[in-house]
Chains A and B, each alone.
Chain A
């Protein structure tokens, strides 16, 4: 029902998430932001079970900030992804597992851009592009077909728009708007919301 997507370029990562917070058949909120800022250059996108998403994401967010306060420097995206995975895995076999699917996107000074895919069983994979949700079934093939490692920002945005138009056309649920953000060496930039209109 929810949808996350991330595309890594040469020196940037572009990520998008839908904005609907639903409860059974009702859309409770239509402008929910599912991205959590872990640091100046790391974003965590989180979907899954109702309370677990915010609870887990805020827990990771506060711990990353605590690391910065204690040590004076920020965790790299790789370290943050592995920290998140470890926490998710530790809770997995407890009585209160967190049922969340995550995308972690970041920019490192030395390693460049990075996109990490994590699912609710705490499997972690670094990927050039990734998606979560039922919409992923419809859009991964589009990403497979048109993705190139040397995409420019505009080309990546066009690819993202192509995926969202496909969702608008084929996906049974209506996802009226998507927040989009871009991470590069200058930090996190908010791009304009994507609002697919009309039928083809």
Chain B
């Protein structure tokens, strides 16, 4: 499919249909011919027959009505102003709009970028998968940490990877991290106000050095040096804000990231199980083995026991 794009194989009768409202049209102009081609093959139509469908939307996306959507929804954009909201039951609002049951974090330091995340995928209050992967590599110098709806993140990560690869094939150079973040943000914009829920941090190294971006499906796009996303993020911020410095060495940075995820998983019910740690340098990313946080918990208890024993012994010696 990527090859069709690169070779410029366009279905020209359809390319004029771009006078559609923003929310119903597809994210990128390039994807239109492919989907229509697929439609034809499935339905056995010839190319010319489908060109008669004048004025129809090139891409069909199901925008759910409030009734069929998940009960927890943070934004009321749809209900107050949209003509699609015909339901009488208002969506239940969370008391506290930090959804996305996860803890992911990333920060920049002198040795590159560290990305860490827990591995618990939760679903309506139970653990759907204790070993999910929330940090997905896009290419050798770009990682995406995902939070929000698991399905949405998986899909959009693949779409982003495809578009970055197409850019590289067309222009002969890799898209910068800033460009990748802007691309993802613009692709997600038509779905603002729907139930698409993606809160990703793009961590990477390009010609301008280490970069870190936070991109959210509500349209936020921020560049920074430290981000933590998810329900466990306030706990992670508590540990990171005091300790993260530019001058950390690699070992310190990794153990800090591990501790931040550990503290967040300790307090947050929707984060837990293991921690994934990635380190990105100018040479690319390297992945550490997945570590079970139970070990960290036992190590901490052991440290406390040793301290307590030491204190008791010194008191005995004094007597």
Which A residues form the contact surface with B (CB < 8 A)?
21, 23-26, 28-29, 32, 49-52, 54-55, 94-97, 99
Stretch from B79-87, B171-179, B252-260 at the A interface: B79-87
- Residues in A with CB closer than 8 Å to B237 are 26
Q: B63 — nearest CB in chain A belongs to which residue?
A: A95
Q: How many angstroms between the C-alpha atoms of A116 and B98 in the bound complex?
A: 35
Residues of A within 8 A of B185 (CB): 51
Determine the distance from Cα of A64 to Cα of B185 in the docked complex, in whole angstroms. Answer: 22
14 contacts between A and B (CB under 8 A): A21-B222, A23-B216, A25-B96, A29-B222, A50-B216, A50-B218, A50-B220, A51-B189, A51-B218, A51-B220, A55-B189, A55-B219, A95-B21, A99-B77
Cβ-based interface call for B262 (8 A)? no
A95→B227 contact, CB < 8 A: no
* Inter-chain contacts of A24 with B (CB < 8 A): 96-98
Q: A127 CB to closest chain B CB, in angstroms?
A: 27
| Residue in B189, B218, B219, B227 whose beta carbon sits within 8 Å of that of A28 in the complex | B227
Q: Is B270 engaged at the interface, CB distance under 8 Å to the other chain?
A: no
A50 CA to B75 CA, complexed, in Å: 11
How far is A32 from B84 in the complex, measured between Cα atoms in Å?
A: 34
Name the interface residues of B104-134: CB closer than 8 Å to any CB of A.
none
Residue among A24, A28, A32, A99 having the largest count of chain B Cβ atoms under 10 Å: A28
Question: Is B168 an interface residue, CB under 8 A from the partner?
Answer: no
Write the nearest CB–CB distance from A180 to chain B, whole angstroms: 21
From B22, B96, B233, A96 is in contact (CB under 8 Å) with B22
Contact with A along B212-254 (1 / 0, CB 8 A): 0010101111111001000001100100000000000000000
Instruction: Chain A residues near B22: list those with CB within 8 A.
Output: 94, 96
- Evaluate contact between A96 and B23: CB separation under 8 angstroms: yes
Looking at the assembled complex, report how far the CB atom of B160 sits from the nearest CB atom of chain A, in whole angstroms: 17
Q: Are A51 and B224 in contact (CB under 8 A)?
A: no
- The verdict on A94 contacting B192 (CB below 8 Å), with A23-B220, A26-B233, A51-B220 known, is no
Asked whether B193 lies within 8 Å of A96 as measured between CB atoms, the reply is yes
B 60-93 contacts with A by CB, 8 A: 77, 81-84
Query: What sequence of 0s and 1s flags, for each residue 198-220 of chain B, a beta carbon within 8 Å of any chain A beta carbon?
Result: 00000000000000001010111
Chain B contacts for A26, CB-based, 8 A: 98, 233-234, 237
Known: A24-B96, A95-B193, A96-B23. 18 other contacts (CB 8 A): A21-B222, A24-B98, A25-B98, A26-B98, A26-B233, A28-B220, A28-B222, A29-B222, A29-B223, A49-B219, A50-B216, A50-B219, A55-B219, A94-B22, A95-B21, A95-B23, A96-B193, A97-B81
Q: Which A residues touch B214, using CB under 8 A?
A: 28
Asked whether A51 lies within 8 Å of B234 as measured between CB atoms, the reply is no
8 cross-chain pairs, A with B, having the tightest CB-CB distances, nearest first? A51-B219, A50-B218, A50-B220, A29-B222, A24-B98, A24-B97, A51-B218, A50-B219
